[in-house]
Amino acid sequence: MSSETPGQRALRELVATARERGRKRHARWRPGVFMQLAESNVRDAWGSLAADPRREERVSAWLDLLIEAMGRGLVDEFTVAGPGSDGVLGLLLLDRLPRELGTLDAARMAELWNLGEALAREPKWIDLTLAQVLERRQTTCAEIESVLTATLETLHAPSPDTAPDWKGGDTEVLRIERWAPRFVPGRLRLVRPNVVALRDRESEAELAVSVFADGLTCVTSGASLPDRTTPTSTAAVAFVPGTLRIEDARWRCEGLTAWQHVVVSPAGFAVATCVDSQRLWVARAG
């Protein structure tokens, strides 16, 4: 202890106080997980704020959030291992907040917590999709409200009044094993104009495939996806190995040798699966 710097001592005391607070507040308190965080994420954040006169206040407020999240079972060893995999709150707490702690005060952190907690009460696939969008768009804490608003508008968007102008081109190929190693794509159904439910061929499991106009496609667990479907496009669809044709436009579909299922959305995209393949082909109108 004698070689401890004042900063190290301050952090140790901060962590000890937080640990005690967590234990008194929550029955599900996991001291092991908390210490794992304290010795990695918290220590790194503390170090990065060395020149910040409000360092102690910022880290202490962040620890308040971590304590609550752990106590409510929203953060565990699995979340710690892969932030974002368990919704917006996990991503904010373990990734965005520590990264931007120097720009955040307690009031803003409380707002972000409230956002994350509210989204945790939404259907699971929505929370997971939003988390993935925030992560892949590298959204900063300052941009979160606008990105969430835009994403929610896309996920809930009604069918457009006008038919898309199908132009053809290359398809996006998604390897589903990245998200679900044992998932074999089977049936497809359009649950929202921009959201496709993808059913596993071997089980009842579903994935949510959300297609955004700017080229981003997100795949998440389909937990709590709605049962009802939305009308698909009436455009004429045809297939020859390696090529998908919608109306008069053609898309190159490398590896799509035996078309299994395809769904065409009036929002201007099509998703196709192939027999015994874990790949998914997404063709956009143009």
CA atoms within 13 A on the CB side of 190: 23
Q: Which is nearer to other proteins, 61 or 225 (CB)?
A: 61
For the CA atoms of the chain, what is the radius of gyration?
23
Is 71 among the residues that bind other proteins (CB under 8 A)? Answer: yes
One-letter identity of residue 69? A
Distance set, CA 188 to CA 94, 144, 155, 198, 260 (Å): 34, 31, 17, 5, 10
Q: Which is nearer to other proteins, 126 or 225 (CB)?
A: 126
Q: Taking the complex as a whole, how short is the minimal distance between the CB of residue 176 and other proteins, in angstroms?
A: 29
Structure tokens at 233: 């496009």
Is 53 among the residues that bind other proteins (CB under 8 A)? Answer: no
Find out whether 72 and 26 touch, Cβ atoms under 8 Å: yes
Is 23 among the residues that bind other proteins (CB under 8 A)? Answer: yes
Find out whether 18 and 63 touch, Cβ atoms under 8 Å: yes
One-letter identity of residue 25? R
Is 149 among the residues that bind other proteins (CB under 8 A)? Answer: yes
Q: Which is nearer to other proteins, 148 or 237 (CB)?
A: 148
**Interface region with other proteins, contact rule CB under 8 A, candidates 56-64, 95-103, 240-248, 249-257:** 56-64
Q: Which of 143, 153, 202, 276 binds other proteins (CB under 8 A)?
A: 153
Is 111 among the residues that bind other proteins (CB under 8 A)? Answer: yes
Q: Which of 10, 33, 115, 249 binds other proteins (CB under 8 A)?
A: 115
Q: Which is nearer to other proteins, 76 or 117 (CB)?
A: 117
Of the candidates 82, 37, 277, 94, which has an alpha carbon nearest to the alpha carbon of residue 173? 277
Is 50 among the residues that bind other proteins (CB under 8 A)? Answer: no
CA distance 251 to 249: 7
Q: How far is CA 147 from the centre of its chain?
A: 12
Is 113 among the residues that bind other proteins (CB under 8 A)? Answer: yes
Interacting residues toward other proteins by CB under 8 A: 23-29, 57, 60-61, 64-65, 68, 71-72, 105-107, 109-111, 113-115, 117-119, 145, 148-149, 152-153, 156
